[in-house]
């Protein structure tokens, strides 16, 4: 129901026109729709506009685009593929909020849209990309001739998701498809099979829809009318967004939309934008042309204690996003730090620091010491994290007993003599204690002597018969060391310290530590390294180790070699366990 449908006496009408925004606000105020405090503040601001004599309320543009989306656009992905794109009330209210408020621009002597900058934050799987994609397509057809639209994101793949969503909706509609064309460069008006000589749908309309990524720059960003940037939480700064914002500034009625979930990048672009946005909502700074539409929780505590609050960050819950899926994510988040970080940031828009401690003190606690004699003539998996100079190096072997899932670690650390002299007094005394206990081997001079690392592996074999099945090492380590190990009969395999290779073993190390399936012989340096280790997480929910924020001078090498050992174990589990069982 949009206009002229017997709505004159309805409480959600304004000057005879039905308003989805008024309906949404009323239901939010009554508690029929649950939203967070930040969105409620923005809605209160919008309600003031209805009584502001300097702002004109005009529903035509907003309702035209809502009607276009619901009658011309179709979903293209399961389980809604082929079905009309029927908007929920929160989506209609959002579109209305963008379009219905007008202010008079004296420079061009006409009324123009008030909101020209939009920040839309909503949890994943709530249809944000399809919604903004449909809005871009609506603007392409409903806007003026020559409308140029640019889809952008941190990487080309994410930018392509929005572009493909737009193109798929175009292809699903026969009436839209027959007056447009697309190729690898973009979407254009004019169909070579059914050409039109003149008018909006002819080749004379130079409107386009294109895509770029932050990595390719904004070379295509000159003089565009609509700019939509997806997943801005991945951006470290504004170097890729500013060219787009400047490009739309040449238009009389530009529209720049940033859509995203929360993220884990510290002091990134989204952090700064949200700081400014919250200042606007709190009345500390004035940005009347910025529509700030935040679906956020009011606290982390309510996520765990009140399931009804989940809809604050998930307005599509039960319609677009399955409640059962979210329940499953919550249960997994209770036992996994990486899942907790991912779920709170991506499913509830609660910012997570990607450099907070990975493990709790209880997780790190090891069992009583074991004797190396228990593993005489055992097979092992080796791992090293080598540092040429000025740093700690770590080497270890991982051993198992037949019929058991428990992993036992023997380890040795290495440090250059010059590094010790540069340490603060407290750290120096700590390292001196470790050296006296033969936990650390000191290399003379300014560099670690990798031959000492080799000698340690050789010693384990000669004195205790511990044979390394394979030894994992970081790809940045000296290749000469690997050749030296090979000369002694050790097979070394590279394990790159990247998300793809480190994520799975890091998650398994965490699970085994929590289950007390790791015994690192109560080595204090292992404990020290585990305490200093944080996790970094990407959009694919992959993780890798980093240093806890504020502890950049601390070391995590021991934790890294545990993860490297687990990587080799995972890749060779069957064969290694068969050797253990001999």
Give the pLDDT confidence of 312-321 residue by residue, as tens digits: 999 999 999 9
Task: Say if residue 442 is in the same domain as residue 564.
Answer: yes
Task: Say if residue 35 is in the same domain as residue 62.
Answer: yes
Task: Quote the DSSP letter at residue 390.
Answer: S
Asked whether the predicted pLDDT for residue 436 surpasses 80, the reply is yes
Listed residues 346, 377, 411: the one ending a domain: 346
Q: Is residue 6 part of a domain?
A: no
- pLDDT on residue 4: 43
Q: Is residue 4 part of a domain?
A: no
Q: Are 265 and 234 in contact (CB under 8 A)?
A: yes
Task: Say if residue 151 is in the same domain as residue 59.
Answer: yes
Within 10 angstroms of residue 144's Cβ, the number of other Cβ atoms is: 13
Task: Say if residue 181 is in the same domain as residue 45.
Answer: yes
Asked whether the predicted pLDDT for residue 221 surpasses 60, the reply is no
Mean pLDDT of 513-542: 92
Element (H, E) at 51: none
- pLDDT on residue 400: 97
Q: Is residue 252 part of a domain?
A: yes
Listed residues 346, 379, 412: the one ending a domain: 346
* Cα–Cα dist 104/375, whole Å: 82
- pLDDT on residue 3: 46
Range of the domain at 115: 13-346
pLDDT band at residue 1 under the 50/70/90 scheme:
very low
- pLDDT on residue 222: 67
Q: Is residue 1 part of a domain?
A: no
Q: Which residues contact 469 (CB under 8 A, 6 or more apart)?
A: 379, 380, 381, 491, 572, 575, 576, 579
- pLDDT on residue 8: 43
Task: Give the CATH number, domain containing residue 95.
Answer: 3.40.50.300
3-state class of 547 per DSSP? strand
Asked whether the predicted pLDDT for residue 219 surpasses 50, the reply is no
pLDDT band at residue 212 under the 50/70/90 scheme:
confident
pLDDT band at residue 216 under the 50/70/90 scheme:
low
Largest pairwise CA distance in the chain? 93
Q: Are 91 and 131 in contact (CB under 8 A)?
A: yes
Mean pLDDT of 233-256: 87
- pLDDT on residue 25: 97
Per the DSSP assignment, residues forming a β-bridge with 397 are: 382, 410
* Cα–Cα dist 562/558, whole Å: 6
Listed residues 302, 321, 346: the one ending a domain: 346
Asked whether the predicted pLDDT for residue 560 surpasses 90, the reply is yes
Task: Say if residue 300 is in the same domain as residue 373.
Answer: no
Task: Say if residue 486 is in the same domain as residue 564.
Answer: yes
* Cα–Cα dist 226/253, whole Å: 9
Q: Are 537 and 264 in contact (CB under 8 A)?
A: yes
Task: Quote the DSSP letter at residue 112.
Answer: E
Sign of the C-alpha dihedral, residues 233, 239, 240, 245?
A: positive
3-state class of 54 per DSSP? coil
Task: Say if residue 330 is in the same domain as residue 422.
Answer: no
* Cα–Cα dist 571/125, whole Å: 33
Range with lowest mean pLDDT among 77-81, 84-88, 219-223, 552-556: 219-223
3-state class of 46 per DSSP? helix
Backbone angles phi, psi at 69, to 5 degrees: -60, -45
Element (H, E) at 18: strand 17-18
pLDDT tens for residues 357-402?
A: 899 889 998 777 899 999 999 999 999 998 755 588 999 999 999 9
- pLDDT on residue 345: 92
Q: What is the mean pLDDT of the chain?
A: 91
* Cα–Cα dist 46/88, whole Å: 19
- pLDDT on residue 389: 53
Task: Give the CATH number, domain containing residue 406.
Answer: 3.30.420.240
Residue 124 or residue 223, greater confidence? 124
Range with lowest mean pLDDT among 16-20, 217-221, 377-381: 217-221
Range with lowest mean pLDDT among 190-194, 371-375, 522-526: 190-194
Range with lowest mean pLDDT among 135-139, 243-247, 268-272: 243-247
Closest CA to 36 of 324, 391, 295: 295
Mean pLDDT of 143-161: 88
The torsion region of residue 534 among left (phi > 0), alpha (psi -120 to 50) and beta comes to beta
Q: Is residue 397 part of a domain?
A: yes
Asked whether the predicted pLDDT for residue 98 surpasses 60, the reply is yes
Task: Say if residue 370 is in the same domain as residue 340.
Answer: no
Mean pLDDT of 180-193: 92
Closest CA to 395 of 298, 472, 507: 472
pLDDT tens for residues 326-336?
A: 999 999 998 88
Task: Quote the DSSP letter at residue 241.
Answer: T
* Cα–Cα dist 441/129, whole Å: 55
Task: Say if residue 318 is in the same domain as residue 369.
Answer: no
Closest CA to 413 of 376, 444, 452: 452
Q: Are 333 and 340 in contact (CB under 8 A)?
A: yes
* DSSP one-letter string for 255-286: EEEEEE-----TT-HHHHHHHHHHHHHTTSS-
Task: Say if residue 332 is in the same domain as residue 418.
Answer: no
Task: Say if residue 325 is in the same domain as residue 445.
Answer: no
Range with lowest mean pLDDT among 223-227, 395-399, 423-427, 443-447: 423-427
* Sequence-ordered alpha helix ranges (H) in 356-478: 361-364, 417-422, 425-436, 450-464
pTM for the whole structure: 0.81
Closest CA to 267 of 153, 339, 355: 355
- pLDDT on residue 263: 84
Q: How many domains does the chain have?
A: 2
Q: Is residue 305 part of a domain?
A: yes
Sign of the C-alpha dihedral, residues 288, 294, 300, 303?
A: positive
Task: Say if residue 283 is in the same domain as residue 369.
Answer: no
pLDDT band at residue 477 under the 50/70/90 scheme:
low
- pLDDT on residue 2: 45
pLDDT tens for residues 110-126?
A: 999 999 999 999 999 99
- pLDDT on residue 7: 42
- pLDDT on residue 264: 80
pLDDT band at residue 267 under the 50/70/90 scheme:
confident
* Cα–Cα dist 193/181, whole Å: 10
Asked whether the predicted pLDDT for residue 533 surpasses 60, the reply is yes
Q: Is residue 2 part of a domain?
A: no
Q: Are 163 and 149 in contact (CB under 8 A)?
A: no
Closest CA to 15 of 64, 56, 61, 62: 56
Structure tokens at 121: 């934050």
Per the DSSP assignment, residues forming a β-bridge with 399 are: 380, 408
* DSSP one-letter string for 409-434: EEEEEEEEHHHHHHS-HHHHHHHHHH
* Cα–Cα dist 575/582, whole Å: 11
- pLDDT on residue 79: 80
Closest CA to 152 of 122, 132, 171, 172: 132
Backbone angles phi, psi at 260, to 5 degrees: -170, 165
Q: Are 436 and 458 in contact (CB under 8 A)?
A: no
Q: Is residue 5 part of a domain?
A: no
């Amino acid at each position: 129901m949009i206009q002229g449908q017997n709505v004159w006496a309805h409480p959600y009408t304004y000057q005879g026109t039905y308003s989805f925004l008024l309906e949404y606000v009323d239901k939010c105020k009554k508690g029929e729709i649950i939203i967070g405090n930040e969105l409620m503040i923005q809605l209160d601001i919008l309600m003031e506009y209805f009584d502001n004599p300097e702002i004109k309320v005009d529903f035509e543009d907003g309702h035209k685009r809502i009607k276009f989306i619901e009658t011309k656009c179709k979903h293209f992905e399961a389980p809604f593929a082929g079905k009309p794109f029927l908007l929920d009330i929160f989506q209609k209210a959002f579109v209305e909020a963008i379009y219905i408020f007008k202010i008079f621009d004296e420079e061009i002597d006409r009324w123009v849209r008030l909101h020209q900058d939009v920040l839309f934050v909503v949890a994943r799987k709530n249809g944000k990309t399809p919604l903004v994609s449909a809005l871009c397509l609506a603007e392409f057809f409903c806007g003026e001739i020559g409308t140029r639209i640019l889809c952008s994101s941190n990487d080309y793949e994410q930018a392509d998701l929005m572009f493909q969503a737009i193109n798929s909706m175009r292809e699903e509609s026969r009436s839209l498809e027959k007056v447009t064309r697309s190729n690898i460069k973009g979407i254009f008006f004019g169909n070579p099979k059914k050409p039109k000589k003149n008018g909006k749908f002819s080749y004379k309309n130079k409107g386009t829809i294109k895509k770029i990524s932050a990595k390719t720059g904004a070379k295509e960003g000159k003089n565009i009318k609509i700019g939509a940037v997806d997943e801005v939480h991945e951006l470290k700064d504004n170097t890729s967004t500013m060219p787009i914002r400047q490009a739309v500034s040449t238009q009389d009625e530009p529209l720049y939309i940033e859509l995203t979930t929360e993220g884990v990048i510290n002091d990134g672009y989204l952090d700064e934008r949200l700081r400014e946005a919250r200042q606007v909502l709190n009345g500390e700074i004035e940005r009347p042309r910025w529509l700030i539409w935040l679906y956020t929780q009011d606290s982390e505590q309510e996520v765990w204690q009140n399931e009804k609050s989940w809809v604050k960050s998930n307005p599509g819950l039960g319609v677009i996003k399955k409640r059962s899926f979210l329940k499953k994510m919550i249960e997994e988040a209770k036992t996994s730090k990486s899942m907790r970080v991912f779920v709170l940031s991506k499913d509830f828009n609660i910012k997570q620091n990607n450099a907070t401690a990975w493990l709790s003190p209880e997780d790190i606690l090891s069992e009583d010491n074991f004797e190396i004699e228990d593993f005489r003539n055992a097979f092992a998996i080796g791992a090293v994290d080598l540092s040429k100079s000025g740093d700690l190096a770590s080497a270890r072997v991982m051993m198992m007993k037949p019929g058991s899932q428990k992993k036992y670690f023997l380890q040795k650390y290495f440090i250059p003599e010059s590094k010790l002299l540069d340490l603060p007094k407290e750290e120096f005394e700590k390292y001196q204690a470790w050296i006296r206990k033969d936990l650390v081997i000191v290399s003379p001079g300014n560099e670690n002597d990798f031959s000492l690392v080799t000698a340690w592996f050789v010693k384990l074999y000669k004195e205790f018969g511990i044979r390394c099945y394979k030894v994992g090492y970081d790809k940045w380590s000296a290749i000469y060391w690997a050749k030296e190990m090979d000369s002694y009969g050790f097979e070394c395999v590279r394990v790159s310290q990247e998300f793809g290779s480190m994520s799975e073993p890091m998650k398994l190390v965490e699970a085994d530590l929590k289950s007390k399936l790791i015994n690192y012989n109560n080595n204090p340096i292992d404990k020290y390294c585990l305490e200093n280790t944080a996790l970094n997480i990407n959009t694919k929910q992959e993780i890798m180790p980093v240093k806890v924020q504020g502890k950049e001078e601390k070391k995590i090498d021991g934790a890294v070699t545990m993860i490297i050992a687990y990587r080799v174990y995972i890749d060779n589990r069957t064969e290694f366990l068969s050797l253990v069982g001999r």
